[in-house]
Structure 1
Amino acid sequence: MSASQQRLLDLGWTPDVGRAFQPYRGAHRLARVCRVDRGGADLAGGMGAVRATYGGDVLRAVAADRMAQPAVGDWTAVRDWPDDRVTLEAVLPRRTAIVRDSADRTSYGQVVAANIDVVVIVEHLDPDPDLGRIERLLVLAWGSGAQPVVVLTKPDLVPDPDGMRAEVAEVAPGVEILLVSAVPGTGLDELGALLRNGRTLALVGPSGAGKSTLTNALAGVPLLPTGSVRARDGRGRHTTTHRELVVLPGRGVIVDTPGLRAVGLVADDDAVAGAFADVEALAAHCRFRDCAHVAEPGCAVRLAVADGELDEDRLARWRKLRREAARNAARRAGDRRSVVAELEAKRHRR
């Protein structure tokens, strides 16, 4: 195997990526996005690292749909020019994508990371974990198409980490939950096992939870800066200010992301159902298919609350996220109509 082929394997190359790149062979080379900023993207490929600006096709695609903006983790076709310029000419189809609501709340969303195999939701145990935030991040993860895993950090700072893990398990049905401490290394082997076969992990969660610390621990060297947390509330600083793809040669790929102060969702009913599989399973046994789970006779959800099987707060959060998903769907439909109307207007002006 050549050094170029090994670099691509270290970046997470698969036969599916090779097939997607087939139409671009010859005039282009394959590279993966490591970092994005307003001027372009930092890429890595078989020939090493390179800086690229966006080609015309990419710029036109982004103008029509901001979801087409190159994102960390994207596989791309790049072109070298005689004047030493490098341009990113195409983004290959995404296998999975973590998508959050954009800041302006008017576009389809913002791709946090693409082609992810495992979304690792990192939450601290000290201070106490935010169960509502974990649920929202699980919706984000289920909606991505990747496998969600919850990592609870700082277990050495609390008296009963196993009890706290059990509490988190109640809001993360069917999801693997790991207790991990970078020092002295508790749980790192289990977390590292998720990187098998060159898989790509994305770490998401609040500032101060230890995402960069975990990346450094898995790498065995301090690749990323880490920061302290405030003693009064346990909140961390944004030591990670941008999304970055980190390659661990021979093991896999990690995408480190900045701390999320708020988790804006571009979710659908399926993503919410994945995060609330326990509630959805109960709702399937209600007498009426359109049960609102308020006061209807034969409501299995209300019965579970009364019996202590389902927490009332979790039910309330499920309702809230379902409403949010419905609003998102309506807004996306409105955005599509606006885009179509604008394109029609341009066509008639010609």
Structure 2
Amino acid sequence: MTSAFLAFPSSPFAALVPYGWDDVWADEFAPYATEGLLAGRVIRVDRGQCDVVTSDGVLRADTAFVTPNDPMRVVCTGDWVAVEPAGNPRYVRTYLPRRTAFVRSTSSKRSEGQILAANVDYAVVAVSLALELDLGRVERFLALAWESGAQPLVVLTKADLVPDAATLGHLVQDVEKTAPGVPVLPVSSSGGEGLDVLAAVLSGGTSVLLGQSGAGKSTLANALIGEDVMDVRAARDVDGKGRHTTTTRNLLALPGGGVLIDTPGLRGVGLWDAETGVGQVFSEIEGLAADCRFHDCAHEAEPGCAVLAAVDSGVLPERRLASYRKLLRENQRIVAKTDARVRAEIRRDWKRKGAEGRAAMAAKRGRWH
């Protein structure tokens, strides 16, 4: 928030302050204000149209004017936009430069990214305690969250289903070890435990709520808002999966301050150029790698590898190293689809490993004979 707008409630932008408007956005928007365009924030996008909250209220606008054929440049929930004040239909003329963007790879095999939310301060990863913890999935969400530029936060939902405090404490510790530098907060939407702490954190900006179907995101959003604004259906008893009750990304104002973007459940969470995010999630491995004998150590079989030594000594869980390798390989494949240099490096690596394999087999044959 900015003192300038709070001090002058008659400002034409005063109505946008609860949605995150500040002096920096005002400066970015200034050229469009001279054209008579309205400033607003996108609170929902659906089939080429979007709902925009402005000083004139919530307007419906068409997004076709803004590079419709580039999935990385389309209007998305959380964008600050310049919209035409009149017309049938109204058009979004442009969006302001994004401070952060949460991007995943598309479910297709094409080399495209999909922006889920823009201008986010906190990426809240919702994990249901009604199911066995999938730490690999948590790591995947966190890699994208760190890469977006937002501060990740893991919320363990349905904490009331955990039988005792000791078990809950162990679950929290397991996730904390998986998420270095990330707050982990158990909450119960039905009982209210942990909601006041979470609401206080989220009051400081814009948050996006992420997780699988059935993770309790919509129930959590309703609990934070204080009313049933999101449709909720029971998860299946067999596997705890939900039914995609949220089908669009919706930006909602929180009563205690801040705004929340609720998203549909994500079955596939593909990385998108997230090498920095992966390194942040596995920061202890990156730290150990600094002590490896070779600066380009792959932590597979090289002599003097500090990472493998940590696995052998039990300091580093083998699962963490396997997950680290998996996410790095996946991210490299995604980047290689659009980066010729990376593709060439992968081919050289394949040739090197192939040559090493052939040499090893030749040596074995020599020993056999």
TM-score of the aligned structures, taking structure 2 as reference length: 0.86
Shift of the alpha carbon at 1:3?
8.0
Correspondence for 1:139: 143
**Paired residues of 1:10 and 1:250 also in contact (CA < 8 A):** no
Aligned pairs (5 A) from 1:42-53: 42-53=51-62
What is the SS of the residue equivalent to 1:136? helix
**Paired residues of 1:139 and 1:267 also in contact (CA < 8 A):** no
Q: Based on CA coordinates, which of the two structures has the bigger radius of gyration?
A: 2
Correspondence for 1:239: 245
Q: Which of 311, 314, 320 is matched with 2:317 structurally? A: 311
Residues 283-313 of structure 1, C-alpha deviations (whole Å, 9 max, x = no match)? 1111111112122221111111111111111
Q: Which of 20, 24, 28 is matched with 1:16 structurally? A: 24
Structure 1 CA distance, aligned partners of 2:44 and 2:176? 33
Shift of the alpha carbon at 1:55?
5.5
Unaligned runs of 5+ in 1: 335-350
Structure 2 CA distance, aligned partners of 1:330 and 1:55? 30
Correspondence for 1:120: 124
What is the SS of the residue equivalent to 1:190? helix
Q: Which of 78, 83, 88 is matched with 2:83 structurally? A: 78
Find out whether 1:29 has 2:33 as its counterpart: no
Report percent identity of matched pairs.
48
Q: 1:320 to 1:55 in 2, by over 3 A?
A: closer
Structure 1 CA distance, aligned partners of 2:112 and 2:208? 21
Q: Which amino acid aligns with 1:73?
A: G
Aligned length: 330
Structure 2 CA distance, aligned partners of 1:29 and 1:43? 10
Find out whether 1:170 has 2:177 as its counterpart: yes
CA RMSD of aligned residues (A): 1.8
Find out whether 1:90 has 2:94 as its counterpart: yes
Q: Which is further off, 200-209 or 102-111?
A: 102-111
Aligned pairs (5 A) from 1:77-226: 77-81=82-86, 83-159=87-163, 160-197=167-204, 199-226=205-232
Q: Which amino acid aligns with 2:47?
A: R
**Paired residues of 1:150 and 1:177 also in contact (CA < 8 A):** yes
Q: 1:3 to 1:19 in 2, by over 3 A?
A: closer
TM-score of the aligned structures, taking structure 1 as reference length: 0.90
What is the SS of the residue equivalent to 2:339? helix
Correspondence for 2:63: 54
Unaligned runs of 5+ in 2: 1-8, 341-369
Structure 2 CA distance, aligned partners of 1:191 and 1:48? 29
Shift of the alpha carbon at 1:2?
3.0
Q: 1:233 to 1:30 in 2, by over 3 A?
A: same
